Amino acid sequence: MAQAVAIQMTAHRFLHLLSRFERDDRGAAAIEFAIIAPVLVLGALAAVDFGFAAMERMRLDSALRSAAQSAMGDPGVTTVSNVLTAAASASPPTARSATAFATPTRFCACPQSPSVAVVCSSTCGGASYTYIYYRLEGSSTYTGLYWPRPINIQSTTLVQVR
């Protein structure tokens, strides 16, 4: 009987202690923060990496736009390539990126299908003349600070001369 009373007293003390912890919320915010903080930090670091990758894309597009503006006057492939090189070197890539530009391509095509190259002196479907196009291509690979895989960035611009 004494043993049963002792067990009952121990159970009562345990329930009392448990109810005391149940009502005590000191330190709850610290525990919640410890659970959420790593997720927030990783999310912020990923946002920084993707921000730098977006900046690299804008740098690539800016160089292609400068060359496209030059190509509108049809100065020739060499001149457009020089403008592209100059525009790319005006805003150099970051230390974590590698950029490559393909040689601009000049070709003629019919207005109905600009992806099919034709002879520049030919006509398209009757009396319509061929248009001159320049295709400018660039690619960049951004290696993130925290993102584990490289981010490949590609951009192509098609410019119609006439």
Each domain of the chain, given as residue ranges in start order, spans: 2-160
**129: phi then psi, degrees, rounded to nearest 5:** -90, 165
pTM flag (> 0.75): no
For each of the chain's 162 residues, which pLDDT tens digit applies? 556 655 666 777 777 766 766 666 777 788 889 999 999 999 999 999 889 899 999 999 999 999 999 999 999 999 999 999 999 888 777 778 888 888 999 999 987 887 788 888 778 877 778 889 999 999 999 998 888 889 899 999 999 986
Q: Which residues contact 161 (CB under 8 A, 6 or more apart)?
A: 71, 72, 73, 74, 131, 132, 133, 134
Are 74 and 107 spatial neighbours (Cβ–Cβ below 8 Å)?
Answer: no
